[in-house]
């Protein structure tokens, strides 16, 4: 299968995640110290609950998760006691996807800033990655080949048209697939489900089809961070091409 690029990819969000351990536990005060190193690029901070319960062996409460927003809201750094996450997010329909090559370099820059701060600038000490995660979230809006759950077969292979004699209208259709990636890279989860979204600020909610591909590594001691993300990205792209129909791909390439 040849890898392809789309002129109008349906990508809404890309997530790079690193689960880590550190020489000492990350503290609340550390969050503010790190923010001071990136505040010019990420001037807005927001508190969020942690994604996972951290350090079950300690009597300390789990550290909250902090969101650091870029000025235009398209970039997001998330940090909690055991995770560093970098997001690219589409903020309007007219915004172009900048390419994996650009986003991975941004992620590496911010990850290296975090790791250096932790090691030599008063942070919690040496950071040791334990697990990697790469997620692509795609939004297919109504009117672009999909007008509701009953049209899912127009976007995804392996989905048959719904028997209209059985249902007057299909209101929900959810799909989930999990498989092992080659070369011990980890697992890939693929989910598809309906959702609702405002296309732009001030617009009304419209139905969408959400297709998410989430790659998670196993043990990472035998592969570098950059190499894992590069290989996982290739697997995610191949997976997306495998599950989506030729007609949908033609539309995203601009062939229709």
Sequential DSSP letters for the chain: ------SS--EEEEEEEEEEEESS---HHHHHHHHHHHTTT--EEEEE--SS---TTSSSPPPPEEEEE-TTSSEEEEEETTEEEEEEE--STTPPP--HHHHHHHHHHHHHHHHHHHHHSSSSS-EEEEEEEEEEEEEEETTSS-SSGGGGGGTBTT-PPP-TTT-SS-----EEEEEEPGGG--EEEEEEEEEEEESSTTPPEEEEEEEEEEEE-S--TTS-HHHHHHHHHHHHHHHHHHHB-HHHHHHHHT--
The side-by-side arrangement of strands in the sheet containing 83-89 is 44-48, 65-69, 75-80, 83-89, 11-22, 127-141, 205-216, 187-198, 175-180
pLDDT (tens place) for every residue of the chain, 256 residues total: 445 678 889 999 999 999 999 989 888 899 999 999 999 999 999 999 998 755 555 666 778 899 999 999 999 999 999 999 999 999 988 899 999 999 999 999 999 999 999 998 888 889 999 999 999 999 998 876 788 888 888 999 988 876 656 677 777 889 999 999 998 999 999 999 999 887 677 778 888 999 999 999 988 777 899 999 999 999 999 999 999 999 999 989 875 4
Domain positions in the chain:
11-253
| pLDDT (0 to 100) of residue 172 | 82
| pLDDT (0 to 100) of residue 1 | 41
Neighbours of 247 (CB within 10 A): 12
- Angle 72-190-95 (CA atoms, 0-180°, nearest 5)? 20
């Amino acid at each position: 299968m040849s890898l392809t690029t789309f002129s109008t990819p349906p990508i809404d969000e890309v997530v790079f995640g690193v689960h880590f351990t550190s020489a000492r536990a990350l503290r609340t005060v550390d969050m503010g110290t790190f923010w001071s190193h990136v505040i010019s690029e990420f001037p807005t901070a927001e508190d969020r609950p942690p994604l996972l319960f951290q350090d079950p062996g300690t009597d300390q409460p789990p550290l909250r998760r902090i969101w650091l927003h870029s000025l235009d809201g398209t970039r997001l750094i998330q940090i909690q006691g055991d995770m560093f996450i970098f997001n690219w997010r589409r903020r309007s329909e007219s915004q172009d996807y900048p390419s994996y090559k650009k986003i991975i370099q941004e992620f590496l820059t911010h990850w290296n800033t975090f790791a250096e701060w932790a090691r030599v600038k008063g942070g919690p000490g040496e950071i040791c990655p334990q697990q990697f995660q790469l997620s692509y979230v795609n939004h297919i809006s109504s009117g672009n080949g999909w007008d509701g759950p009953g049209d899912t077969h127009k976007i995804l292979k392996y989905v048959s048209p719904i028997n209209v004699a059985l249902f007057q209208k299909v209101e929900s259709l959810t799909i989930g697939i999990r498989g092992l990636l080659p070369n011990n890279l980890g697992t890939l989860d693929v989910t598809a489900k309906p959702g609702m979204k405002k296309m732009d600020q001030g617009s009304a909610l419209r139905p969408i089809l959400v297709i998410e591909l989430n790659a998670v590594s196993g043990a990472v001691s035998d592969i570098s961070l950059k190499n894992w993300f590069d290989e996982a990205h290739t697997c995610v792209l191949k997976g997306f091409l495998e599950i989506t129909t030729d007609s949908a791909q033609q539309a995203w390439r601009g062939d229709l």
